[in-house]
Every structure is written in C-alpha cells, then in structure tokens.
Structure 1
Amino acid sequence: MKIKQAIDKIPGGLMLVPLFLGAICHTLSPGAGKYFGSFTNGLITGTVPILAVWFFCMGASIQLSATGTVLRKSGTLVITKIATAWVVAAIASQFIPEYGVEVGFFAGMSTLALVAAMDMTNGGLYASIMQQYGSKEEAGAFVLMSVESGPLMTMIILGTAGIASFEPQVFVGAVLPFLIGFALGNLDPELREFFSKAVHTLIPFFAFALGNTINLGVILETGLLGILLGVGVIIITGIPLIIADKFIGGGNGTAGVAASSTAGAAVATPVLIAEMLPQFKPVAPAATALVATSVIVTSVLVPIITAMWAKRMGNKPAVRETETAGLAEKA
C-alpha cells in the first residue's frame, strides 16, 4: 500500500491527515489516553514534549551562512509577513473580545487565530512553487522561513501588540530549545544533518497528539469561517508581500504571492500559546480548527494564484530541482 504517496497528494497532508485522525479519536473516545495509559497516553497527550523536540531540530536545521541575495529575499518576506500579522493583531484586538467571538457567523474567531494563521509561511510550499516560477535565490529564500515556525513569533506579536503579557522566563523557555538546536547545528554540520532528518519525521506525531485536543464538532462549526480566513490570509498578507518583494527584495512580486500561505506548523500554535497563557485556553480549540482549514485553503489557492501572477509577469516555468535541493541540504 502506498499510504505515504496518497498522503503527499493532499495539501499539507503530512500534518493534516494525522491531525484529523487524532480529532476522530478524541471525538469518539475522549478518554482513550487515560484508559490505555503508559506510552499510548504519552503519544495521545504529548503535544508539548513532541513539539519541543521538533522545535529543537528545526533550529538545528537552519544554517547561519547563506548568500546575501538569499538573506535579502528571505529576510524581506519573513519580516513583512510578521509585520503584517502584528498590524492585524493590533487592529483585531480593538474589535474582537479577549475570549473570541462567541455568537453568530464569526463564532470561534479570535485574535489568536488570526495571528497564528498569518505569521507563518508554508516554507515547503513556497520552495516548490518558486522552483517553477522563480530564480534559485528566490527558491532558496525558504532558509529563514523556519524562524517563523513554533510559538516564538506569535508570542512576540501578541506581547508587543499589548494583547498578552509573557513572563521573561516563559519567553526564554519557549525559545531555548530552538536556540540550542540552532547553535549546535551551526557549530557542527554533522549535527545539523543528523537533527534535520527528524524535522519531517516528527510532524505526524505532534499532529496526531494535537488532533486529540480537538472535537470534530468544532471543525464542522468553523469550516466556512476557516475558508474565509484562508482567503483573507492570502489577500491581507499577499499584498504587502508583493510590494515588499518588488521594492525591497528585487523581485516582481511572484515570491510575495508564493509566501502568502499558512504553515502547517501554525496549527499547533494556539494550543502551545494556551499552555503558556491559560487565558487563551477557551479559544484554543476553535482557533486550531480555523488555522487547520486555512492551511488547506492556502495550500490549494496559493499555487494557482502564483502561477497566474507569474504568467502575467512573464515568468516562464522552469524546473530547478537540483539547484534548490542543494540549497535545502545547506539550509
């Protein structure tokens, strides 16, 4: 059976399939973890420790040294994406209640959901798109996008926008595994290669554990709203990204469109933030469902819109698998 092949055909499948399997388990048998106990319970309820290891390995996979062009391009996209999410958070906090919208069509929407959906780019999706429609430097811009992964940037955005207050030790505790991994990966290339291999391997494990915090009823209730959130992410982050790519990054906007997605890892952010700040626990399940839907929507629409934009700009599709693969190995 070619299960992996089938999963890979689904946008963000490696994250979303285990997530929904976990949600099914939780919906049908919410007490399964406690019933079986031991390692099974650890697998079902181990979102935080599994993500801690993943965050460490993610840090180890990032190489500090890169060409100036790649750093300029990736830095422009990352900073613009984060800055846009910050502005959205600052505005949304003035209109959305602290515990999210509780009634009506927008029930479940919260500032946490908006920030989590907008502040992370799907690096793998971006790289694959730019292999076809961009230069090797543009395709290699995914090297810094990993910095967005995890709760770090979301914490910074929520904190600086005045929406949440994190104690210094909590902030350090969230970023420390990433920094240790980053340091080790840059001190020893062999360690970077060793730990980098675990980044993709751990995704289905934390996705399954994360799914076991979600009731499918919440996903069904937020489905249409999640679709609108995904479209909103493309529009709201896409426009500033296009402008930044053209006037700062030296491109024609194609890379900006390709970066206007929601990362699969963003699905875990609401739960992680809620672990550090209990005030977000009431909105975490709905926020998780909304972000999961946004991942699917942006994974489907962003490649289509990028192809249309590239055609308009006169970009010719070109396969650069060898060049991008080399950059990926160095990243």
Structure 2
Amino acid sequence: MKLLAKIPGGNIIVPMLVAMLINTFFPSLLAVGGPTTALLKEGNQAMMGLFLVCCGSQINFKQVGLPLYKGTVLLLLKALVGTAIGFLVGSIWGPYGVMGLTPLVLIAALTSSNSSLYVAMAGEYGNASDTGAISVFCLKDGPFITMLAMGATGLANIPWQQIVGMLIPLLIGAVWGNFDSNFRELCNKANPFVIIFMSFSIGAGSSLSTIVTAGMQGIILSVIALVLGVVYFFLYNLFLKKKTPLGVLLGTVAANSALTPAIVAAADPSLAPFADSATAQAATASIITMIVVPFMLSYFDKWLKKRVTPEKINTQTDFNTEVEVK
C-alpha cells in the first residue's frame, strides 16, 4: 500500500496493469471458476456498486451556502463542457471519434477529475468552503455522469433501468452516510480497497497490447484536459467575487475514469469495441494530468496575486462569514 501511494493513481493503475499482464501471458489463470473468477475477472459490476455506495456516503446534506454553490458550479462546468466536447465529436465523426479518441473516452475522461488532489489543493490554496464543495462535486466520481450524458445525447443506448441501477447505490450511501458518520468514515477508508479489486477485474478483460496502441492518444487526451483546465480557471472565476486558482484543478482526469468505459459498455454492448482502448487512454491521461496540474495551480495562484487586489483573492477564511457570490 505504501508503494501504491507513491504512484499517481496507484490504486487503479497498478492492479489494472497486473491483471493485464496475467491476462496477456496466462489468460486461463483467472478462469478457474468459483470465487476466484467471480472476484478477479467478473467482479467489476459488484465492486462498482460498492464504489458508488462509498462515493454516495461522502455527500453531506448539511453542506449548504457557499460549499453547495461552489460544488454545484464545479460539477456543472465539468459535466457540461466534457459532455459538449464528446457530443460534438460524436456528431461529426461518429462513435469512432477522431485521432483515436472516441466520444466514450472523451466524456468519461473530461467529465471526471481527481477528487483527492482537489481536496488536498483546496486545503492549501482555498478555504473551508472550497474543501466543503467536494460533498457535491464528488457526484462526478464513477460512471453515473458519463452514462447520463451519453444516454441524454444519444451517443449510447442506455436503458433507464441502468441509470436507476447506478443511482440506487449512490442514494444508499448518501442516506446512510448522512445519518451515520461512522458509516461515512468506514466507506472513506474502504474505498481504496474496493477500487483495487474493481481495477483488477477490469484489467483482466484486456491485454498489454491495448496500452501500446493507446499511448499516444492518452497523451493527446491529457493535452486536451490541461488546456480545458486553463479555460475552467477563467470560467469558474466568473461565478465568484473572490477569485481563486482552484478552477485549474478541473483540468485533471480522474484515475477512476479508466474504470468507466467498461461499465458503460456493459450497459450498451455496442460500445464494447471501444472500451479497452478508452480504458488505457484515460489511465494515461490521469497520470499525466495529476503530475502537471499542481504546477499549473501554483502558476495561476501567483498570477492572481499579481493582478488581483488581496481582498478579492480567496484566502483561508470562515465560509459562514464569507460573501463571494455575485
């Protein structure tokens, strides 16, 4: 676990790579049947249910005011822009996309962002209202937004039962977590464990050749996400009186976005041919953006301090007395 913590997105990337290695050189090893196959090769749907419960448990109904406002703005910016790009590519080039980037991977990656990095950086560059925004913003974790976006835009045929089935675990976690803080804490600690085994089971359906063929597209996807991070910086500050560099953090791609294509493809089998490459591309982009974005955040923090008066820069203050909304 200490080793995984040192690797960007290690809880997802490492188990997935190990599973790909096994499936490449010993494909029958995980097909022995019983609990082994059910957990390590076919367990991604059950693990996704647990993952959504854990995500839902972190939604705090008591976070109102600025945390709710900021979280909603961040969520809508990320979801709407990412969906619009995927829809545009799908409308012009179809399901195969352009430059090897399909609408599936564009929406899965560009509607996601690294929540852990956001919380860490919000604590350093923002205030309590910024940190509290994650209670709403975390809704973009997992495949729910991607499935909703692809179904609503007609890019995928997602049965309504699939969306409801994705929503129920979120609601279970949210309700239980808000009535029981111990359960919320348990889910927070259990989330990495669930992610490790979910990542392994998804990787077990792919091979190393996928990574080789998807490498360059992953880099292109990273560049797109990073450029959008600059756009988000300016867009987010349009909604705030006190300016903040934290909008740049929307330029990350979440490591768990690599898990989304397989889940969406399970709901719409016509997307199955694109799932493996999308998984590898999203995983590559998550690593690159996680490394680059903190440097971008530092740059825009200094940029703001040079151009904005101190009283208009978001600093460590109590959000209950802070008035920022236009």
Q: Equivalent residue of 1:95, what SS?
A: helix
Shift of 1:261: 0.8
Q: In the alignment, what sits opposite 2:37? A: 41
Does structure 1 retain, via aligned residues, the 8 Å contact 2:11–2:195? yes
Q: In the alignment, what sits opposite 1:132? A: 124
Structure-2 separation of matches of 1:139 and 1:175: 24
Does structure 2 retain, via aligned residues, the 8 Å contact 1:270–1:287? yes
Map 1:221-260 to 2 at 5 A: 221-236=213-228, 238-260=229-251
One-letter amino acid of the structure 2 residue matched with residue 234 of structure 1 = L
Shift of 1:100: 4.7
Which of 100, 103, 107 is the equivalent residue of 1:115? 107
More moved, 297-306 vs 157-166: 157-166
Q: In the alignment, what sits opposite 1:146? A: 138
Structure-2 separation of matches of 1:262 and 1:55: 18
Structure-1 separation of matches of 2:51 and 2:139: 13
Q: In the alignment, what sits opposite 1:28? A: 25
Shift of 1:72: 1.5
Shift of 1:6: 2.5
Q: Equivalent residue of 1:314, what SS?
A: helix
One-letter amino acid of the structure 2 residue matched with residue 90 of structure 1 = F
Does structure 1 retain, via aligned residues, the 8 Å contact 2:126–2:244? no
Q: In the alignment, what sits opposite 2:188? A: 196
Structure-2 separation of matches of 1:166 and 1:5: 39
Structure-1 separation of matches of 2:188 and 2:106: 29
One-letter amino acid of the structure 2 residue matched with residue 177 of structure 1 = P
CA change 1:97–1:311 in 2 (3 A) is same
Does structure 2 retain, via aligned residues, the 8 Å contact 1:99–1:282? no
Map 1:34-113 to 2 at 5 A: 34=31, 36-45=32-41, 46-100=43-97, 106-107=99-100, 109-113=101-105
Which of 179, 190, 200 is the equivalent residue of 1:187? 179
Does structure 2 retain, via aligned residues, the 8 Å contact 1:85–1:118? yes
One-letter amino acid of the structure 1 residue matched with residue 216 of structure 2 = L
One-letter amino acid of the structure 2 residue matched with residue 92 of structure 1 = V
Structure-1 separation of matches of 2:145 and 2:103: 14
Q: Which runs of 5+ in 1 are unaligned?
A: 324-331
One-letter amino acid of the structure 1 residue matched with residue 37 of structure 2 = N
Which of 277, 286, 290 is the equivalent residue of 1:295? 286
Q: In the alignment, what sits opposite 2:277? A: 286
Structure-1 separation of matches of 2:96 and 2:272: 9
CA change 1:242–1:129 in 2 (3 A) is same
Which of 307, 314, 323 is the equivalent residue of 2:298? 307
Point out 4+ residue stretches in structure 1 off by more than 3 angstroms: none
CA change 1:279–1:250 in 2 (3 A) is farther
The reply on whether 1:13 has 2:5 as its aligned counterpart is no
Aligned residues: 310
One-letter amino acid of the structure 1 residue matched with residue 214 of structure 2 = T
One-letter amino acid of the structure 2 residue matched with residue 290 of structure 1 = Q
Does structure 1 retain, via aligned residues, the 8 Å contact 2:159–2:267? no
Structure-1 separation of matches of 2:260 and 2:150: 12
The reply on whether 1:155 has 2:147 as its aligned counterpart is yes
Q: Which runs of 5+ in 2 are unaligned?
A: 319-326
Computed over aligned residues only, the root mean square deviation of the Cα atoms, in angstroms, reads 2.2
Shift of 1:233: 1.1
Does structure 2 retain, via aligned residues, the 8 Å contact 1:84–1:240? no
One-letter amino acid of the structure 2 residue matched with residue 33 of structure 1 = L
Does structure 2 retain, via aligned residues, the 8 Å contact 1:60–1:178? yes
TM-superposition CA deviations, 1:37-77 (whole Å, max 9, x none): 22221222111111111111221222111141111112111
Q: Equivalent residue of 1:65, what SS?
A: coil
TM-superposition CA deviations, 1:211-245 (whole Å, max 9, x none): 11221111111112101101101213x24422332
Structure-1 separation of matches of 2:171 and 2:17: 31
Shift of 1:276: 0.6
Does structure 2 retain, via aligned residues, the 8 Å contact 1:241–1:253? no
Structure-2 separation of matches of 1:167 and 1:97: 20
Does structure 1 retain, via aligned residues, the 8 Å contact 2:67–2:129? yes
Structure-2 separation of matches of 1:9 and 1:140: 26
Shift of 1:99: 4.2
Shift of 1:253: 4.4
TM-superposition CA deviations, 1:89-144 (whole Å, max 9, x none): 2211123332456xxxx34x210010011001111011112222222322332222
Shift of 1:145: 2.3
Q: Equivalent residue of 1:281, what SS?
A: helix
Q: What is the TM-score normalised by the length of structure 1?
A: 0.87
| % identical equivalent positions | 28
Structure-1 separation of matches of 2:11 and 2:158: 31
